[in-house]
Amino acid sequence: MDMYAGYAELQGGAVEQRYLLQYVPLVKRIVRQLRSQVGAAMEREDMEQIGLLGLLDCLRRYGTPDEKFGAYASMRVRGAVLDELRRQDWRPRSVRQESHRLRDGIRALSRRIGREPSEAEVMQALGLSPEGYQEFLLAENAEVLVSFDEVLQEMGSLSADGPSPEAQLVRRRSIEQALRALDEREQRVIQLYYEFDLSLKEIAAVLDLTEARVCQINKGALRKMRACLQH
């Protein structure tokens, strides 16, 4: 906590310092959550520093925090860390190429059998071990999460300095409608990830599922929501 206190002292006045320190646990939760997906691509301290800068920007844009600030800050802090990961191109080229190859293979398999294949069918067709398949799902899920964050930011659904209250109301209702399009388990996964900032591993434990299965559910839910929001 001393590092954050010193950073707050350098960056602003007493009120800003107090709020910055108050929401440090939010930054830590989001970094812990994202670290479970990107592994050792970036040091935890570096991710926390980026998240802290995102939090500071939130405070200066938003003004005095209220009951809605946590959701706004969570999205902005997560977006700041993800932007830096993308800027550093955190996935090696070989990993990206392998991911594209597997994705193409799954699409070809789906066309051949006329439906979405099961995990066992994918692993058999592509020669993947259960561990290899889970690594692929984790990488795919990280890409989808970045994409969904961008959709929400483009809509301004959590923007403090964006469109009129009427437009924000329409957008909030659009997101509520998108959530209603999900089944109960999909809604639960989205809630645990975005509202409670749990890692995929923690969600798997809560729902008594494998981490790979949580990735599948999350990916499908985000795909449905994104399609609904874009429409």
Sign for the CA dihedral angle at 3, 40, 191, 163 comes to positive
And the tokens for 215?
Answer: 């990735």
The Cα angle at residue 106 between residues 78 and 178, in degrees rounded to 5? 45
CA 214 to CA 119: how far, in whole Å?
13
Supply the pLDDT for residue 10.
42
- The 10s digit of each residue's pLDDT in 196-221 is 778 878 888 999 988 778 888 888 88
Supply the pLDDT for residue 103.
87
Eight-class DSSP state of 161:
S
Is residue 183 over pLDDT 80? yes
Supply the pLDDT for residue 118.
86
CA 131 to CA 92: how far, in whole Å?
19
Higher-pLDDT residue of 53 and 10 is: 53
H helices of 12-158, in order, are: 14-22, 24-38, 44-62, 69-87, 93-113, 119-126, 130-155
Is residue 12 over pLDDT 60? no
Q: Residue 56's closest CA among 13, 1, 85?
A: 13
Which of 65-69, 120-124, 158-162, 171-175 has the highest mean predicted lDDT (pLDDT)? 120-124
Higher-pLDDT residue of 86 and 55 is: 55
Average pLDDT over residues 40-65: 86
- The 10s digit of each residue's pLDDT in 57-75 is 888 888 888 888 887 888 8
CA 83 to CA 77: how far, in whole Å?
10
Share of the chain above pLDDT 70, in %: 77
- Please provide residue 205's backbone torsions phi and psi, each rounded to the nearest 5 degrees: -70, -40
- The 10s digit of each residue's pLDDT in 108-151 is 999 999 998 888 899 999 999 988 887 787 777 666 666 666 66
Phi-psi region of 208 (alpha: psi -120 to 50; beta: other; left: phi over 0): left
CB of 164 within 8 A of CB of 143? no
Q: Which of 6-20, 111-125, 152-166 has the lowest mean pLDDT?
A: 152-166
